[in-house]
Amino acid sequence: MSFKLFSRTVAVFSFICIILQVSAIETKLSGEMWGRWTNETTKNKDADGEYRNKISKNYLSLERGYLGLETAFTPNTKARFTVDMFSTDATYQYPSDSAMPIDTLKNSTIDGAGLKLKYGYVDFANLFPIPDLNLTVGLQKTYFGTIYDWNYALIEKAPSDLYKVANSSDYGITLNGFIPQGWGEYALGIYNGEGYKKIGSALSDNIDFAYLVNFRVTPISGFTVGGSYMNNTVGREKTLSGDALNSKYEEQNLWDGLGRFVYGPVEVWLEYIYKDVAYPNVSGKDYTATGLTIMPVISLNSLINLPVEVIGRYDRWDESDRPSADTAKSLLNTMILGLNYNFMPDNTNTPQMTVQLNYETKMYDEDKSAPSFADGKKDSSQLMLQLKWKFANTL
Amino acid sequence: MKRMTLIILALLMIFMSLSAKNSNQLTCSGSTTVLPIAQAAAEAFMAKYPDINISVRGGGSGVGIAALISGSVDIANSSRPMKSKELLQAKSKEVNPVAYFVANDGIAVIVNNSNPIKGLTLKQLKGIYTGKITNWNQLGGKNIPIVVISRDVASGTFEVFNEKALQGSMVIDSALMLASNNAVVSTVGDTPGAVGYIGLGYINDKVHTLSIENIVPTETTIKDMSYKLSRKLYMYTNGKASGNAAKFIAFIQSAEGQKIVRDTGFIPLN
C-alpha cells in the first residue's frame, strides 16, 4: 500500500474514531487480514495451437484486509463501519507511455492497493414492540442464502456471491431479527440492488430497488432450514432521454433454499439457488440458472485433540439454459478440498488465526456449454495457502 | 509394509491418548457477578472431591455463553437469561443450553459513605444515568456533582440494569464504564459524588446501598421480586448436566452450596 493511501486510510479512521468516541458508550476496533499464496493452472494455446495446462498465476497477495469500528451509542443503537483493503481487484492502470493513470482500464492500481467501503450502517433495536427486531439502515449485509453468515471455512466465496447471484453487502434498509427462544431468524429488506463494489461512474443508472425476504428456522437442535427470495433488476428499462428501450435491462427473480445439519463433529451445508432472468426488451434471451452446493465440514478436534478441520465442497452451477448463441452458456462443476488449522483462540475459543490450505478445480461440461468451453479450454485449478488473522479490542 | 503398519498404529495410539479428555477437569467461565460464588463453591467442592479440578474464569456473561456454544467450557455462568440470538447460535450448532438457577441477586445502587442520600425512585435513577440530574442537591443532598459509574456493555449486570432501570435509554456520555463489580465499588468508595451499581455480593464498608422506590434490597424483597432491580443468577450447561458438572451444580444448589452463596453476599434459592 502506498504512503498516500495508507495516510488517507489512517486519517479517515482517526476522524471516525473521534466522532464515535465522543458520543459512544463503547467502541470496538476490529480487523481481519487474509494473506494468500495462489497458484493457478489453466489451459493455454501453445505454439502449435494446442491447448496445454500451464501455470497462469503464481503470486502472493493481501486478498482482503477488513478494518472495522463498531460502536454502541446506547444499548439499543449500534453502528458499524468497515473498510475493505486489498492488493487485487485494483481500479487504475498506468499506460506504458504515460505517467498519468487511465481510469477506464482496471487492471492495476496507482496506489498499490484498493480500498472499498464494505459496511456502514446503524442498527436500531426495540424501535418496534416486537422482541429481538432490528431496523438496520445503511451499507449492510445482504440477507440472501448463506452470503450473510458465510464464515469462510473454505477460502472460496459463498455460492450466491461466487456465481454473482447476490452481493455480499449493499445499500439498503432492512428489518431483521430473531424468533424468540432460538427458533430462527428473518429479514425483510429494500436494497439498491447493485452491491457495494460499484462506485461513481461505475454505478449504473438503474432506478429500481431490490426487494428481499429471508427466513430460517431451527426446529430441532443441529438442524436448520431456510430460504430467501430477492427481486432485482439490472440496468435501466428505458433511456432517460428519448425513452429508447435498453436491450441489456434484466429482471431477476432469485431464490435460495438451504439446509444445515450438525451432528457431533460433522456439519453439512446444502444450498440450492434458482435464478430466473428475463430480458423484457429482447426476445429469446431469457434464461434460468440453477446452482447446487454440498459442503461437509469435519472437525478433527475431538479425534486428534488438534484444532483441525477437513472441508469438502461440490458446486454445480448450471447456466446451460442460456440461448445457444450466448457465449456464457455453460455448466460448471467445482470441487474443493480444504484443510484448516485454527490457533490462538480468544476467551470464547474463537480462533484468532487460521491457516487454510485449499485445492479447487473447475470443470466445464463440454456438451452443455458454449463452444469456447469445449475440450476443457476454460477448466482451471487453484492451489491456495492462506493465513487469516483477526483481532477485536474495545477502545 | 509391516513397519509402516506399526508406525501408523503407533501414531493412532498417540493421537487417541492425546484426545482422551481429562474427565476430572471441569471448566466454567462467564459472569463476573457469579464469579465469587463459582470460585468459593469450586474451592469447597475441590476440598471435598480432591480428584476433581475445577477451573473458574470471568469475562462476562456473553463471553461464558459464547464459550459454551463453542464447546470450550462445561459451564457458562450468567447473570442474565440467554438471548434469542445466542439460543439460535447454540441450537444451530447442536448445543442445547440448559439453565440452572443457582442464586438470587439484586443490583445494588451504591453511593459513597459520605453521601447522605438514602434512596431514589426509578425515575430519579434513570434521570441520573441519562444526565438529567447532575448534582446531588437536586435530590436533597449536598452540593456535589454526580459522578456516574456504570458497567461496560459486555456485562450482564449492565444489561439487566439497562432493562430494569433505564428502559433502553442512553447512559450519559461522561459516565465511567468499568469492567468489573470490584472496580465499581472501589471507585464509588473513593469518590464522594459517585453513584454506581453492583451485584449484592460486592458491597463493602466504604459504600452504602440506596433503597429504590423505598424498598431496600434484602433477602425478602429480592426473593419476592418487590425490589425492582432483582434478578436470578444462572449456570448453563450443554444438555442436562452430567458427570462432574451435574455434581458441581448439585453441590451449589445444596444446603452447603447455598451457605456459600449467602457467605459471598448473595441471596440463596430458598
What is the ipTM for the molecules in this complex? Answer: 0.82
B76 has a chain A CB within 8 A of its CB:
no
Q: Give the domain range for residue A81.
A: 3-394
C-alpha span between A169 and A142 (Å, rounded): 5
CA distance B81 to chain A (A): 11
Res B18: pLDDT? 46
Amino acid at A244: A
Q: Cβ of A53: how many Cβ atoms within 10 Å?
A: 13
Beta strand spans in chain A (E): 26-45, 51-74, 77-86, 114-125, 133-141, 169-179, 184-191, 210-220, 223-234, 250-263, 266-278, 287-299, 308-318, 331-345, 351-364, 380-394
Res B19: pLDDT? 46
B90 has a chain A CB within 8 A of its CB:
yes
B240 has a chain A CB within 8 A of its CB:
no
A151 has a chain B CB within 8 A of its CB:
no
Res B126: pLDDT? 94
C-alpha span between A64 and A168 (Å, rounded): 14
Inter-chain CB pairs, A–B, below 8 Å? 101
Reported as type and span, the H/E element at residue B251 is helix B243-253
Q: How many CA atoms lie within 13 A of A147 on its CB side?
A: 28
Res A200: pLDDT? 65
Res B1: pLDDT? 52
C-alpha span between A93 and A91 (Å, rounded): 7
SS3 content of chain B, % helix, strand, coil (to 5): 40, 25, 35
A18 has a chain B CB within 8 A of its CB:
no
B95 has a chain A CB within 8 A of its CB:
yes
User: Which pLDDT band holds residue A86 (cuts at 50, 70, 90)?
Assistant: confident
B167 has a chain A CB within 8 A of its CB:
no
Res B17: pLDDT? 47
The mean pLDDT of A322-339, rounded to a whole number, is 95
Return the higher-pLDDT residue of A49 and A93.
A49
Contact B63 A179 (CB under 8 A): no
For residue A183, is pLDDT > 60?
yes
Res A337: pLDDT? 98
Task: Specify the pTM.
Answer: 0.81
For helices B255-263 and B243-253, the axis angle rounded to 10 degrees is 70
> Could you tell me if A148 and A176 are in contact, meaning their C-beta atoms sit under 8 angstroms apart?
no
**Nearest-CB residue to B84 (from A25, A178, A224):** A178
Contact A182 B84 (CB under 8 A): yes
**Nearest-CB residue to B153 (from A75, A183, A222):** A75
Res A16: pLDDT? 58
Q: Tell me the Cα Rg of chain A.
A: 22
Q: Using a CB-CB distance cutoff of 8 angstroms, which residues of chain B are in contact with residue A347?
A: 29, 57, 59, 63, 67
Q: Which chain A residue has its CA at the smallest distance from B177's CA? A: A25
Domain containing residue A55: CATH number = 2.40.160.10
Contact B152 A23 (CB under 8 A): no
Supply the mean pLDDT for chain A.
Answer: 87
> Could you tell me if A315 and A363 are in contact, meaning their C-beta atoms sit under 8 angstroms apart?
no
Q: Using a CB-CB distance cutoff of 8 angstroms, which residues of chain B are in contact with residue A269?
A: none
- Give chain A's domain count: 1
Considering only A44-53, A358-367, B67-76, B118-127, which range has the smallest mean pLDDT? A44-53
Tens of each residue's pLDDT in chain B, 270 residues: 566 666 656 655 554 444 445 568 999 999 988 999 999 999 999 999 999 999 999 888 999 999 999 988 999 999 999 999 999 999 999 999 999 999 998 899 999 999 999 999 999 999 999 999 999 999 999 999 999 999 887 787 888 898 889 877 778 888 998 988 899 999 999 999 999 999 888 888 899 999 999 999 988 999 998 999 998 999 999 999 999 999 999 999 999 999 999 888 889 997
For residue A122, is pLDDT > 60?
yes
Secondary structure, 3-state, B163-209: HHHHCCCCCCCCCEEECCHHHHHHHHHHCCCEEEEEEHHHCCCCEEE
The mean pLDDT of A155-169, rounded to a whole number, is 95
pLDDT per position as a tens digit, A377-388 = 899 999 999 999
Q: Which of A282, A292, A288, A291 is nearest to A322 (CA)?
A: A288
C-alpha span between A195 and A252 (Å, rounded): 15
Res B153: pLDDT? 77
Q: What percent of chain A has pLDDT over 70?
A: 86
B63 has a chain A CB within 8 A of its CB:
yes
What's the Cα-to-Cα distance from A388 to each of A31, A82, A355, rounded to whole Å?
Answer: 11, 17, 6
C-alpha span between A173 and A201 (Å, rounded): 23
C-alpha span between A180 and B32 (Å, rounded): 26
For residue A77, is pLDDT > 50?
yes
For residue A84, is pLDDT > 50?
yes
